[in-house]
A and B are shown apart, each in its own frame.
Chain A
C-alpha cells in the first residue's frame, strides 16, 4: 500500500450507481459548482486539509474500449469514482467529512447503490473502506507541505515580492519589517516530514534517509 506521499494521503473510492440515476448524480455534481449552490462545498474549504479532490461518474458503457481484441464491458451499473489528496490520517479525513458536510456528502452519494449515509459514522466508515482501492504509486511535488502550507506560501511570496526595496532610514525599515511579519504571522512556520501514520510513511522516511545518505549506515544493507 502506497497511499501516502509525505503529508498527503491518496484515497480512491469506486461505487456503483443505478444507470438511470447516473444522470441525476452528475446533475447534482454540476449543481454544487454553480454560484447559487457553491455554499454546499463551503465545508470542504473550511476543512482546509484537501489539496485536490474530484468525483467522476462513468456510464456503464463508457469505459474505454481501445482495441478489437479487448472484450467489451457488460456492466449493470454505472460507477462513481472519488479521488482525494488530503493531509492527515484516513480516520481524521472521513470523520471531518461527516462532521462538516454531511448534507453535501449525502447529496452527492445518495444515488449510489447501498450508500449508508454519512451519519452515523461507523456505517459510513465501513462503506468507504469497503469500496476503497489502494494506490500503487503516489507522487506529491511537495511531500513536506500540507495544503495550508501551499496556500500560505503564496501569501509569503506575494508579500516578499511587494516588500519595498528602499527605506528612508533604519527606523523606517524596522517598521516595514515588523509590519511584514505581523501580516504573515499566520503564514509562517517550519515544514518538516509528517508523523508516521502508516507503512507507506515508513517508506517515505526510508527514502528520506536514503537521500540523506544514512540508510546504508543504519541498516547495514544494500539499497532497496
Chain B
C-alpha cells in the first residue's frame, strides 16, 4: 500500500468547498482561507493536540494551472510538431468546478496503517476547529461524530503513489523524547567537561534519573513547541 512506508502513513484528502457567499459578502472559500490563516496566530496549532501527527498542512486548491511554459519531454515535442488533428499544439486549458480544501498529513500509523484511529483522534482533539472549516464543504453536513468524520475523510482521501520517509517512522512520543534527550545530553556533555571520574559519575547518575530515557511521557518535548524550555 503506497499510503504507508514502514509505520509512517501519508494521508491526503481533498474536500470540495461549496459555492456560496456569507451574509457579510465573503465567499465560503475565502472564509475557509481566513480561518486557516487565523490558526497561525494562536499559541499553537490545533493540530498539536492531535496524537501522532508528525507534520501536516492545509491549503486551498482554487484551480489548476494552464501550462504555457516551454516543455522538454518527448510527448511535448511530438505534440508540438504533430501535423494532424484539430486545435493547437498548446496544452488545453483545464479548470476545476469546485475549490478543494487540501489536508496533507504525515503521521504515525503503526504497522497496520491505522488512519481510521488517527482521524477519530483528530475529531476528539479538535472537533470545533474541524467544524469551523469543513462545514463549508460538500457532504460535511452528514458528519456529527468521530466515526462519521472518519467515514467522510475516507471518501475525500486520495491514494498516494509514492510516500518517501526521510526522517523515521517511530511513534511521535519516541521522536519527541529522543529530541529532548539529544538536547539535554549535549548540554550535559558541555557542562561536565574535565570533571574527575567520581564527580562525573555522580552528575551523570543524577542526569539519568532526571531525564529518564525510558519514560516517553515526561520529561519530554511537547508537540509543536517553538522554544527550548517548553518541555513537559
Chain A positions near chain B (C-beta within 8 angstroms): 2, 5-6, 8, 10, 12, 14-16, 18, 21, 25-26, 29-30, 32-33, 41, 44-45, 47-58, 62-67, 69-77, 79, 81, 83, 85, 108, 110-117, 123, 126-127, 130-131, 133-145, 147, 149-154, 156-157, 160-161, 163, 165, 167, 170-171, 173-174, 177, 181, 184, 187-193, 203-204, 207-208, 210-212, 223-224
Contacts and interface: CB of A to CB of B under 8 A. Distances in A.
B158 A56 contact: yes
B218 interface: no
A133 B187 CA distance: 40
A62 B158 contact: yes
Contacts of A54: 10, 12, 104, 160-164
Interface in B166-207: 166-168, 170, 172, 174-179, 181-183, 185-187, 189, 197-198, 200-201, 204
B140 to A, nearest CB: 8
Contact of A12 (B41, B74, B102): B102
Contacts of A2: 37, 40
Given A150-B167, A170-B197, A139 B57 contact: yes
Contacts, number: 328
Interface of B: 2, 8, 10, 12, 14-16, 18, 33, 36-37, 39-41, 43-45, 47-48, 53-61, 64-65, 67-76, 91-92, 94, 96-98, 100, 102, 104, 106, 137-139, 152, 155-156, 158-168, 170, 172, 174-179, 181-183, 185-187, 189, 197-198, 200-201, 204, 208, 211, 213-214, 221, 223-228, 230
Contact of A52 (B16, B165, B213, B224): B165
Contacts of B39: 137
Contact of A70 (B57, B67, B138, B213): B138
